[in-house]
Amino acid sequence: MIYDGIKDKVAIITGAGMGIGYSIAELLLENGACVVLNDVDEKMAEEALVRLEKKFPDKCSVFIGDAADIEVIEKLVLFTLTQYKGIDFVIPNAGITLFGDFFRFKPEDFDKVIGLNLKGAFFLVQKTGEIMKTQGRGGRVVLMSSITGIKGYPDLTAYSMTKAALQMMAKSLVLALAPYQITVNAIAPGATLTERTKEEEPDYAGTWGKLIPSGVVGKPIDMAETCLFLLSDGAAHINGQTLVVDGGWTAIGRYPKDLE
């Protein structure tokens, strides 16, 4: 699908070596944007770049680094400006999921989840938002939340807190960014079949599909299509919102244990 308002825009996507981030990058490139992919895994990022450059030469670059690191964020923004002379879209997609019993959850794990999922997203938007203000041509921010930020699930308290906070971040930043014609929204994916989830559970689609009214888990392209809509001209009047993309899972709120 072709989206208006994407061609020749410049996007930064963190956590884009595979899965949802990679799918967003590919769809942006198909619609004529230039993309900087960030990932902490150098091998994965370079392989992603090779695949994308075959189809979209000179439209895509990679910047390796931890998206939770403020110094990396600053260098990523500078790299993008050097490569493409501007920034129009930012998608802080990088995140980490850590399961753990609440009574045994370790401070270092808490800091790790908060650092990437929240601090990384906050300061990337801060840095790129300042650039968008200066450019004077508006922009788009799409945060990556989760349905765990809407409903509680076992052993995911810290992770869920960050995903709920990202939804509030989208609302709150309307006050700071809307005067500069910058929109900020969030996507809340449900169960999604990616390389990572399939590795964690080989029958991920079968197990989690039982929880969804349609019986089908989400795919990265489902999230990418939603993201592209929010980045497009068609979503110019949508601001501060969270779009749930879960096949109706949160309408019933089941968990695998409920099926035993």
For residue 84, indicate whether it is catalytic: no
Q: Which of 153, 159, 180, 204 is catalytic?
A: 159
Euclidean distance between CA atoms 73 and 107, whole angstroms: 24
Euclidean distance between CA atoms 198 and 182, whole angstroms: 36
Q: ∠ CA 216-243-146 to the nearest 5 degrees?
A: 70
3-class DSSP assignment, residue 236: coil
Euclidean distance between CA atoms 59 and 53, whole angstroms: 7
DSSP structure class, residue 10: E
Q: ∠ CA 63-67-68 to the nearest 5 degrees?
A: 155
3-class DSSP assignment, residue 12: strand
Strand partners, 13: 37, 91
Would you name the residues annotated as active-site residues? 159
